[in-house]
Amino acid sequence: MQDEPNKENTDSVASPEAGTTVAEQPRNPNMKWYIIHSYSGFERKVKESLESRVRAFGLEEKIGKVLIPTESVTEVRGGKKYTVERMFYPGYVLVEMDMDDHVWHVVKSTPRVTGFVGTGQQPTPLSEEEVQHIVYKAGESKDRPKLKVKFEKGETVRIGEGPFATFTGIVDDVNEDRETLKVMVTIFGRSTPVELEFKQVEKQG
């Protein structure tokens, strides 16, 4: 009679509850992150195909997460803000897996996958430092979207916050990496450089 509960568990594998149980199983300690090449523009298709192949071949224990590194970017169009997802490594997909010949073949033969990133025939896993930089950068950007606004030297901007709120000034320098501007503001009749973040200013007109 003790076999009966096991039989019930086997029968319920297809249920949503069972799917949740699979997701909660302990992570395979041998899994490492690898990068695969895909045709540019088909990254999401590759991710979907790979995830469906993992289910079809029962490889949940060998292949974990499939990740497309993206960042949230806030664009200003027509005076309105829109947040969009933008890939910061187009043509690449990250896959967490316990690599062996079978897993290699399943991933390599996925439609629109052109190969693994590595030296020679051997795929090279990401180092822990690279994982921190790429995988966690993707997570952080979703919490703090970048503000994508094109500022140009010489244009007039209005300061919206901080000690110089309501002042207008002329852009003297733009640092897109740090998302900062140097703005020349006239204070007490003298032109003074003030460093501000993109989010602290808005375009005039």
In the chain, domain spans: 26-148, 156-203
The architecture of the domain spanning 156-203 is Roll (2.30)
Q: How many residues comprise the chain?
A: 205
For residue 108, give the 3-state DSSP assignment: helix
- Round to whole Å and give the CA distance between 146 and 123: 32
The DSSP output letter for 162 is: S
Give the pLDDT of residue 21. 37
Residue with tokens 């949740």: 20
Burial group, residue 187, by CB count within 10 angstroms (0-12, 13-18, 19+) = exposed
Give the pLDDT of residue 199. 82
Give the pLDDT of residue 137. 65
pLDDT along the chain (205 residues), means of 10: 46 40 56 91 94 94 90 72 78 92 93 85 83 69 60 88 85 85 86 86 79
pLDDT digits (tens, 9 = 90+) for 94-104: 999 999 999 99
CA dihedral 131, 135, 139, 142 (to 10 degrees): 130
By DSSP bridging, strand 180-187 and strand 190-197 are antiparallel
- In degrees, rounded to 5, the angle at the alpha carbon of residue 149 between the alpha carbons of residues 172 and 83 is 160
Name residue 192's beta-bridge partners.
Answer: 185
The architecture of the domain spanning 26-148 is 2-Layer Sandwich (3.30)
Q: What is the pTM of this model?
A: 0.54
Give the pLDDT of residue 143. 58
DSSP string, 112-152: TEEEE-EETTEE-PPPHHHHHHHHHHHHHHHHS-EEE----
pLDDT digits (tens, 9 = 90+) for 48-75: 999 999 999 999 999 999 998 887 777 7
Give the pLDDT of residue 15. 40
